[in-house]
Structure 1
Amino acid sequence: MQLRNYRSIAACDVRLGPLTFLVGPNGSGKSNFLDALRLVSDALRTSLDHALRDRGGVQEVLQRSSGHPKNFAIRLDFQLPDGAIGHFSFEVGARPHGDYSVLREECVVGEAKYLVQEGTVAIKPVPVSPPGSADRLYLVNAAGLPEFRPVFDVLSKMGFYNLNPDKIRSLQPPDKGELLARDGLNLSSVLERLEKVDEGDTKRRIEEYLSRIVPGLEGVDHKRVGHLETLEFRQHVEGSKDPWRFPAINMSDGTLRALGILVALLQARAEDDVRVVGIEEPEVALHPAAAGIVRDALRDGSRHAQVIVTSHSPELLDAPEVSAQEIVSVVAEQGRTFIARLDEATRDTLRDRLYTAGELLKTNQLTPDREDVPASKQLQLFALEAQ
């Protein structure tokens, strides 16, 4: 993933593995990195205009610096489930009065490709191609073509989570449950779907992890309440032969967040289209002793989807199996974010298992390799030339 002039990030070029920990202090820019990926997904699922307005407009997305940049750009290089390799990149420019324009967009997957410049299709994906528009991403139109549909499906169904226990606790309107909502508002519907799609195996796996985090908890089910639905927890109570049932409103923030994290991570076991999952600070509201269980769930989820986690928790990283290749360091200086792999000395320390990543984090030793932080002009965001 490459970014230019996105929020606090002037430039970055980061390779993401099956499991990636974005590690850094509060306010360093970890969430901005995830938000750039989420912008792509939001713009494809709804529209670019909606995605930008949801963030306060294009001016709020542009990096704030002395140079006053007027454009931001994103590039994603990918390998699809069928093995096809490609990239998707676009650049958005600010215009007066809060307007914007997609200055350039290109997508290459295998032999198929297109290039759109300010709404004009300069390289057509097929001889008779859908028209372009300067205020929306062309990939939405190109998704009607079989070559580009897999790209659209993967990028539009990425899931990014900042779970809200109050939303999970409240009565929820039912939906298809195909993808967990960012705040967990449709958690009951997703859990109901997971109970059906693979004979309940994923749901049982979620309950196993949850019972390790919350002692005595035996399971959780969706429950209809009129035209709405909620969650009902089954928990063992001393002296009782059968588990008691508790509605979500009676459960703690930690329990609800833990359930939301587990569903977010493991939904990809049953949903083939969910290929990327990002979670902000999964350790929040959980007891430090649960960090190892959450780490196990992260690894479990990364077998089915690419998992990206923001964290500043030493407990979550305090294990020998957390390798230097899985950590991306994020720091901020004078409002600018630097994102890169760990410096060479730190990588050697973790490789030789002299310390764990959690121990190094406690002493503020997880620092980025500044040589891996590119200048904006070094980024190779686009590859196609107009014909």
Structure 2
Amino acid sequence: MRITVRNFLGLAQIDWQPSGVCLIAGPNGSGKTTLLEALEFFSRSFQKSTHEAVRLLGGGRGLKHKDAPPDEPVSFVLQEAGVTWELDVSISGAGVGEFPAERVTVDGKTLVRRVAGSNEWTLVGERRVDGPEDAPRTCLRAAWEALRLESIEPLVRSIQNIRVYDAWWINQLRQSGSSDIGDSYLHRTGRNLFSVLKTWRAAPRRYNNQFEWVRDKARLAFYDIFDDIELSDNEGFVSARFFPQGEGAGGEGLPIVRAADGLLVGLLHLTAVAGARPGSLVGLDEMENQLHPHAIRIILEAMREMADERDLTVVLTTHSPVLMNEFRGEPEQFYVTEFGRVPGPVRLVDLHDPRWLSQFALGDLYEQLRIGAPSAGEHAA
């Protein structure tokens, strides 16, 4: 997958091909989270509509990079297996133009095309018109639903399998558990964690023992406080109790409200990766939050294991030197965002000689402001 984006939020230009388990580091405000938002923009635009994707980012005001020329749109391009999807979003006040420009090409040949501002578009040369009765959707989705063309299936599957997690709703999990609606995939907020784990536990063969995998990895990451988790129904909600190491048979365990924040975060991270379909992209913003260094290392190792098994792309943003140090043997998987560097992000090995990097712990270089440093003005402040 390759994404190319122009004039989006704090990044003037993105040109990026993430793969495997990769790390993004850089100063605050340099665009780490924006990279995840760009990935999610493609998913939301396809699954819902471009207008909904813009709305969920706070509306058109501020969507466009501050230095972008007034007459340029915010441009999004996604490429996968010879298929290219282009979206040009024109900003009008706090909103966007009613019909963004859109184009889909397969091996360079145009399959779908819409001119900005027009309700007419073409599919394999055939003219189509979106009327008031048509649900808001991209031309790509309309083409997929109409024809199910094999040629665009790899692109569509990649878009459908983008899952970005940026703010876990831990307090909701503590206080009310999860709605018991039989979910099998984790919501972007993590609010359905216990429902997902319950579904997996009830059908281990169907879900490839994903519950057991999450529990076993959590035991390794939190060996001093966690041994097992019990899930139970409670008036339409799934509640949980956890059992610390050393509690014998017949023990009552502890209510989830007593669980350490780090334990809940770890369970959420592991569930996000365990539930990813083969070939998916999973994004986690500041994965290290509330985690002990030992837990960070174990969970990262688990992510790499699952990524290898299912051909996943896992994108992690971070400020953690501990997490950075775990990429010393894979500096080509380490990306940096820096103010004024276009396009971004940049592979660390393209900024510094790998032989030089091999002499240092990468986290030390970050702490010493030798990589991913704030701009001179911000540092002086």
Would you say same fold, with TM above 0.5?
yes
CA contact (8 A) 1:103 1:134 kept: no
Equivalent residue, structure 2, for 1:124:
123
From the superposition, tell whether residues 287 and 177 of structure 1 become closer, same or farther in structure 2 (CA, over 3 Å): same
Deviation of 1:74 after TM superposition, in Å, equals 1.1
Amino acid at match of 1:9: L
CA contact (8 A) 1:266 1:300 kept: no
Q: Is 1:259 aligned with 2:259?
A: no
Q: 1:104 aligns with which of 88, 92, 101?
A: 101
Amino acid at match of 2:103: E
- How many angstroms apart in 2 are the aligned matches of 1:69 and 1:237? 65
Equivalent residue, structure 1, for 2:200:
194
- How many angstroms apart in 2 are the aligned matches of 1:338 and 1:98? 26
Q: Is 1:63 aligned with 2:65?
A: yes
Q: Is 1:115 aligned with 2:123?
A: no
- How many angstroms apart in 2 are the aligned matches of 1:302 and 1:362? 28
Offset from partner CA, 1:180-212 (integer Å, 9 cap, x none): 111101112221233325355221111111111
Q: 1:182 aligns with which of 174, 178, 188?
A: 188
From the superposition, tell whether residues 350 and 263 of structure 1 become closer, same or farther in structure 2 (CA, over 3 Å): farther
Equivalent residue, structure 2, for 1:356:
361
Offset from partner CA, 1:307-344 (integer Å, 9 cap, x none): 1111111101213654222011012259x995222254
CA contact (8 A) 2:123 2:143 kept: no
CA contact (8 A) 2:9 2:64 kept: yes
- How many angstroms apart in 1 are the aligned matches of 2:79 and 2:321? 31
Secondary structure of the residue that 2:352 maps to in structure 1?
A: helix
- How many angstroms apart in 2 are the aligned matches of 1:201 and 1:243? 25
Deviation of 1:16 after TM superposition, in Å, equals 1.0
From the superposition, tell whether residues 112 and 232 of structure 1 become closer, same or farther in structure 2 (CA, over 3 Å): farther
Deviation of 1:60 after TM superposition, in Å, equals 2.4
Equivalent residue, structure 2, for 1:285:
290
From the superposition, tell whether residues 93 and 112 of structure 1 become closer, same or farther in structure 2 (CA, over 3 Å): closer
Q: 1:159 aligns with which of 163, 166, 171?
A: 163
Amino acid at match of 2:316: V
- Shift >6 Å, 4+ stretches: 132-135
Amino acid at match of 1:116: R
Q: CA RMSD in A?
A: 3.0
Deviation of 1:150 after TM superposition, in Å, equals 4.9
Amino acid at match of 1:358: G
CA contact (8 A) 2:9 2:63 kept: yes
- How many angstroms apart in 2 are the aligned matches of 1:31 and 1:337? 16
Equivalent residue, structure 2, for 1:325:
332
Task: Give TM-score scaled by structure 1 length.
Answer: 0.82
Equivalent residue, structure 1, for 2:347:
341
From the superposition, tell whether residues 320 and 283 of structure 1 become closer, same or farther in structure 2 (CA, over 3 Å): closer
- How many angstroms apart in 1 are the aligned matches of 2:99 and 2:177? 39
Q: 1:218 aligns with which of 215, 222, 227?
A: 227
Q: 1:90 aligns with which of 87, 108, 129?
A: 87
From the superposition, tell whether residues 114 and 68 of structure 1 become closer, same or farther in structure 2 (CA, over 3 Å): closer
Aligned length: 357
Deviation of 1:284 after TM superposition, in Å, equals 0.4
CA contact (8 A) 2:30 2:338 kept: yes
Secondary structure of the residue that 1:154 maps to in structure 2?
A: helix
Unaligned runs of 5+ in 2: 374-381
Q: 1:230 aligns with which of 227, 239, 247?
A: 239
- How many angstroms apart in 1 are the aligned matches of 2:251 and 2:327? 38
Greater shift, 146-155 or 85-94, is seen at 146-155
CA contact (8 A) 1:102 1:135 kept: no
Deviation of 1:277 after TM superposition, in Å, equals 0.4
Amino acid at match of 2:164: F
CA contact (8 A) 1:5 1:69 kept: no
Secondary structure of the residue that 2:287 maps to in structure 1?
A: coil
From the superposition, tell whether residues 18 and 56 of structure 1 become closer, same or farther in structure 2 (CA, over 3 Å): same
CA contact (8 A) 2:332 2:347 kept: yes
Secondary structure of the residue that 2:326 maps to in structure 1?
A: coil
CA contact (8 A) 1:90 1:102 kept: no
Deviation of 1:10 after TM superposition, in Å, equals 0.6
CA contact (8 A) 2:219 2:227 kept: yes
Offset from partner CA, 1:158-183 (integer Å, 9 cap, x none): 11112231133233223342431111
Deviation of 1:360 after TM superposition, in Å, equals 2.4
Q: Is 1:172 aligned with 2:181?
A: no
